[in-house]
Structure 1
Amino acid sequence: MQIDFSRSIVDIVLDHGNSIPDRTALIFDQGDGAQSSLTYAELATRITQLAGALSARGLAGRRIALLFSAGTDFALALLACLAAGGVAIPLAPVGRRKARLQNILNMLGDIRPDCILLDDSMAALFGDELSAALAVGPVRYLEFAALAAEPHPFAALTLRPDQLAVLQFTSGTTSNPKGVMISHGNIIANEAMIQVAFGHDQDSHFVGWVPHYHDQGLFGNILQPLFLGSTCVITSPAAFINRPMFWLQLITRYGAHTSGGPNFGYDLCVDFATRRGMPDDLDLSGWRVAFNGAERVRPGTLDRFAECFADAGFDRRAFLPCYGLAESTLVTIAVPPQSDPIVKSYDSRALAAGRAEESKDREGVLELACCGPAMAGAEARIVDPATGAALPDGAVGEIWLRGPHITAGYIDNPAATEASFGRLDEGAPFLRTGDLGFAAAEGFFIVSRLKDLIIVRGRNHAPSDVEQIWSELSGTVGQASAAAVEIEMGDTQHIVLIAEMKRDDARALSDEKVQEMAGRLRAMAMERLELAVTDLVLVSASTIPRTTSGKVQRKQAGRMLMDGELTVLAMAGPLAQAFGPSEQGASAAGQSALR
């Protein structure tokens, strides 16, 4: 695949301002009647004005942290930062206000930007405290509204392919977030690869709700349509979470060709439609690419969504399972568009032993969705994580990736960079993803996170398999409501399922009922996975820690449980003896045992 590295994403967007000036580039729609939009001519004018203002303030080529709510201003600020030769650093404005402020200050201390740029809503929330905290430090405080009001000329810069463009922080699912160094060349390479792999053209309009500070929201939902010259419709994550049907209504309203998100988003839609019904005017017949990535693709989700929305015109062939991570800019592996998703049943015990063996037996079977082959221009291999040796098809190992979209590593973190970017042979280094999977004739199947694995007697078990069993038992939405973790207390290993539940629902459960649920969980886990789940812990809703993109942080959940930071509503299993009364979290005895 030939990729033109002579132009940056900024050059391409500014060119659209001349070639398709009147086409709508960006729309922000919250469904409340207030809508903002920009044509490509307006977008180009605003980018150059803002880049000139940044340069006039001495910020050309500098690191600029972006603290923005959902909307078109973030895209303007990011592209203006890049146009001025700067490094854009999207920050995640999530969590409770006090915690958010401290997290922002901590991150600013870690990444040491030259400036933090805020939009109106973030300035209203944090402006006074941030301005005061940064007054005597090296980080400058700047509000977007002031920058946007300054008329300054701008001379276009030549942006090199190897020049740093974005510091994208990893989700922190299994460790502290790290700043991935994404170059202008990485961006162009992955956007070109996505265009070919997803079958996009200038009329492939997008709708997106995934946060802009997440790699999928930034490089998928925003920069891909701007790269193409198509239209990007944005709404906020909160609008989707509060009203899942609004996502599908936007797809209907704007005739979107491409839209998608993590697996849990599709589950939320099905859950909402099942409980409350769906709008009568949904028309999903024009939805051609429904990408599903950023977390494990669940075959059951594909089935339920396709069945639920068939009458609204949704075509199952629109599903496009894919796989990537921040270290590969965005996507590396993807199913060809407009093809039936490939789902196969594998013996879970064989998978735990490192072999992919298809099975038609009901017991001990795990269904996996194929995420497709490596996209054109990329290379993917399955590798023994201990030895680095390449493995044959059907062998479970770590997924290693290579290509022009693979980033250079982590900012100011040579140890982590060396650990994640290795070599199999001569040439460019491979990225060690930390994910386990296997290759087959159809493409790659993702099994689990290497660092999240539950290892019992030398056998590897994916936590998501236990979480899926709980989902079936409780009727909740997949792994977004539970975390399976391994906890060591002294010489004893506990396999614990931490599950969220509404307080009133938990109180309505008798101790006998909780024990019965735990018994069923244990029986199904043993039957399907040959895994002995020791404990069921019910905690308050929305308390299991998640990354900014909604992924469950299992190891942190286990630590919080043992440190008494989760409100325990009910327990069943050996840990209950160490924890003491319910609704108090872990007791001092439990904490002492852990230490």
Structure 2
Amino acid sequence: MTITEPVPTGPATTLPGALSLRAEKQPDETAYVYLRDGEEPDGSLTYRQLEADARSRAAALAAAGLGGGSAVLLYPSGLEFVRALLGCMYARVAGAPVQVPRRATGLARLRRIAEDAGTTTVLTTAEVKHDLEERFGDHPDLAGLTLVDTGALPRAEWTGGFPEPEDIALLQYTSGSTGDPKGVMVTHANFLANVAETEELWPVGPDGVVVSWLPLFHDMGMLFGVLMPLSSGMPAYLMAPDAFVRSPGRWLAAIDRFRGTHAAAPSFAYELCVKAQEEGKVAPGLDLSSWRVAANGAEPVRWRAIRSFAETFAAAGFRPEASCPGYGLAENTLKATGSRLGEEPPVLWVDSVALRADRVELSAPGEGAQPLVGSGVPVLDSVVRIVEPASRTVLAEREVGEIWVSGPCVAAGYHGRPQESEETFRATIAGQEEAGRFLRTGDLGFVHDGELFVTGRLKDVIIRQGRNFYPQDIELSAETSAPGLHPNAAAAFSVDDGERERLVVVVEADGRALRTTPLDELEARIRTAVHEGQRLDVDEVVVVRRGFLPRTTSGKVQRRACRARYLNGELKAAAAAERSAR
């Protein structure tokens, strides 16, 4: 294969440059392995193979006139996603990863993202292409979109060079409101800066191995499962999210079998592993002693999840200091802060009532106090400030405000949305305009001894009688109120009925709970748990069947989308149908 410019010998400045370095220095070493059903290896790629495949796909995309444009990336977890992603980057095609639709609602999201990205090209696999055409061939949201099986593209030689560091490497669409997806423009420089910061906090070492079930179309899954391993030169063992959800023990078994050192997940995944162990669904004799970095990226990280996981798997060799909470968001590429390796994450006990008034009063563990887990510190050139959003002034330590971030990981903005980009990505601190521009995260938090503590979302705070309540606290009380309820399966939000704000709590229950517990009793338990936990009365409890709540691409419940479903009557109709079926 002809390469028209010399292979770089210094640090790579783009992701294709990083791949070229790996293909030169360790050509026949394993880069990625896909685990069928989360267990047995089913295909692998060396760096040499990946470089050849990516460059060939780049040549085919350029020949099709897509170079310098954009395309939707519609792939299940697997190696073809990695080939196509790097191929797009070589050809300067801004890829927009999207979850493979299972229902018509997912197809509508696909359409909206394609339109926002300004493309009609959808890159995918033969299996997905066939399935979509078979099930949705005449659907209007599929009309006009061209599905391209990248595995069937003709082999060709890439004769172009590398992209520039400031070129858009990816359009990462936010997974908040499904009706208004926004594409975050992430550059190659952003990605490599984020990888550098991640490696600064959580060094890889010569024996580094990633084991990941996270969705590759999601920012956390892509950076932790694909891009960090590529830059660091460590093999990555990948499995489908469904394989983990069906059997969380598979993830742990893979970490044991392949001696994983780095693996990441949101809090609810660690809770699912604990639940699986308690139910006897984790293989005996597990050895997790190789696991050095158990990154936790939920917002905020749950103390109960960290403590119970460490206690449950201590006998398997898991060390508490391996728990590495972090805070991040797509607009900052991913990670903004992280806990340092080898240190147990700090926990602050604070007065619950004071926190609702945005005051941080340290307390001893016990009634009226709640634990907050530190999300670490910024490193290298990143800066975090806590700002009062209305006045844009910096707050003092232990004062709750909006988290603002600046540094090389802050993305270029939202695609095609200059006004929103200006407001979100280029904020300035009052009286300190010369200090530079900041990303407004929309998240709330405070700093204590240099450590960031995340307390909630600016727009999700529920205000009752002049006090602030964080929905995740209400949801945790609801989720633990009765058997048959699960982590990450509730949504708390407020609605205005014209006279006052009403608190609504929607909870998913599995079939066992719905069969064995009367709905009135289940709702009463939820009300009692929230009252005891937050001294807060719930105006309405809605119980729905497991799997009904809208979720983000990473599996978290979408509060705003859930609220919209409530307001248009969908949730009430589902609850009424459940009652009539009993």
TM-score (norm. length: structure 2) = 0.92
1:273-320 deviation per Cα after TM superposition (whole angstroms, max 9, x unaligned): 111242123210000000000432111111111111111111111100
1:245-264 deviation per Cα after TM superposition (whole angstroms, max 9, x unaligned): 00011111111110011111
On the 8 A contact 2:297/2:325 being kept in 1, the answer is yes
Report the 3-state secondary structure (helix = DSSP H, G, I; strand = E; otherwise coil) of the residue aligned with 2:481.
Answer: helix
Please, which runs of 5 or more residues in structure 1 have no aligned partner? 571-579, 586-595
Q: How does 1:334-345 map to 2 (within 5 A)?
A: 334-345=338-349
On the 8 A contact 2:30/2:44 being kept in 1, the answer is yes
Give yes or no for the alignment of 1:240 onto 2:244.
yes
Q: How does 1:308-323 map to 2 (within 5 A)?
A: 308-323=312-327
Aligned equivalent of 2:496: 488
On the 8 A contact 1:174/1:451 being kept in 2, the answer is no
Distance in 2 separating the partners of 1:304 and 1:118: 40
Aligned equivalent of 2:384: 380
Quote how far apart the aligned CAs of 1:584 are: 7.3
Report the 3-state secondary structure (helix = DSSP H, G, I; strand = E; otherwise coil) of the residue aligned with 1:490.
Answer: coil
Aligned equivalent of 1:22: 28
Report the 3-state secondary structure (helix = DSSP H, G, I; strand = E; otherwise coil) of the residue aligned with 1:542.
Answer: coil
Aligned equivalent of 2:58: 51
Distance in 2 separating the partners of 1:521 and 1:322: 29
Give yes or no for the alignment of 1:351 onto 2:355.
yes
Quote how far apart the aligned CAs of 1:130 are: 6.2
Match of 2:185 among 181, 186, 209: 181
Report the 3-state secondary structure (helix = DSSP H, G, I; strand = E; otherwise coil) of the residue aligned with 1:210.
Answer: coil
**Which amino acid in structure 2 is aligned with residue 303 of structure 1?**
R
Quote how far apart the aligned CAs of 1:107 are: 2.5
Give yes or no for the alignment of 1:217 onto 2:221.
yes
On the 8 A contact 1:56/1:152 being kept in 2, the answer is no
TM-score (norm. length: structure 1) = 0.90
Give yes or no for the alignment of 1:471 onto 2:479.
yes
Quote how far apart the aligned CAs of 1:175 are: 7.4
Aligned equivalent of 1:574: none
Distance in 2 separating the partners of 1:512 and 1:167: 46
Aligned equivalent of 1:573: none
Give yes or no for the alignment of 1:549 onto 2:554.
yes
Aligned equivalent of 1:540: 545
Deviates more, 1:233-242 or 1:458-467: 458-467
Q: Tell me: CA distance 1:243–1:136, structure 2 relative to 1, closer, same or farther (3 Å).
A: closer
Q: How does 1:121-270 map to 2 (within 5 A)?
A: 121-127=127-133, 129=136, 137=144, 140-147=146-153, 150-172=154-176, 176-270=180-274
Report the 3-state secondary structure (helix = DSSP H, G, I; strand = E; otherwise coil) of the residue aligned with 1:480.
Answer: coil
Q: How does 1:432-471 map to 2 (within 5 A)?
A: 432-471=440-479
Task: Give the superposed CA RMSD.
Answer: 2.4
Quote how far apart the aligned CAs of 1:382 are: 0.3
Aligned equivalent of 1:593: none
The sequence identity of aligned pairs, in percent, is 33
**Which amino acid in structure 2 is aligned with residue 9 of structure 1?**
L
On the 8 A contact 1:349/1:530 being kept in 2, the answer is no
Report the 3-state secondary structure (helix = DSSP H, G, I; strand = E; otherwise coil) of the residue aligned with 2:393.
Answer: coil
Aligned residues: 566
Aligned equivalent of 1:87: 94
Q: Tell me: CA distance 1:177–1:76, structure 2 relative to 1, closer, same or farther (3 Å).
A: same
Aligned equivalent of 1:426: 434
Aligned equivalent of 1:499: 507
Aligned equivalent of 1:592: none
1:85-136 deviation per Cα after TM superposition (whole angstroms, max 9, x unaligned): 221111111442x333333223222322252111122112114656997998
Deviates more, 1:416-425 or 1:291-300: 416-425
Aligned equivalent of 1:589: none
Quote how far apart the aligned CAs of 1:216 are: 0.3
Distance in 2 separating the partners of 1:521 and 1:135: 45
Deviates more, 1:378-387 or 1:540-549: 540-549
Q: Tell me: CA distance 1:208–1:477, structure 2 relative to 1, closer, same or farther (3 Å).
A: farther
On the 8 A contact 1:486/1:494 being kept in 2, the answer is yes
On the 8 A contact 2:523/2:543 being kept in 1, the answer is no
1:315-342 deviation per Cα after TM superposition (whole angstroms, max 9, x unaligned): 1111000000000001010000121121
Distance in 1 separating the partners of 2:142 and 2:267: 43
Aligned equivalent of 2:569: 564
Aligned equivalent of 1:282: 286
Quote how far apart the aligned CAs of 1:569 are: 7.4
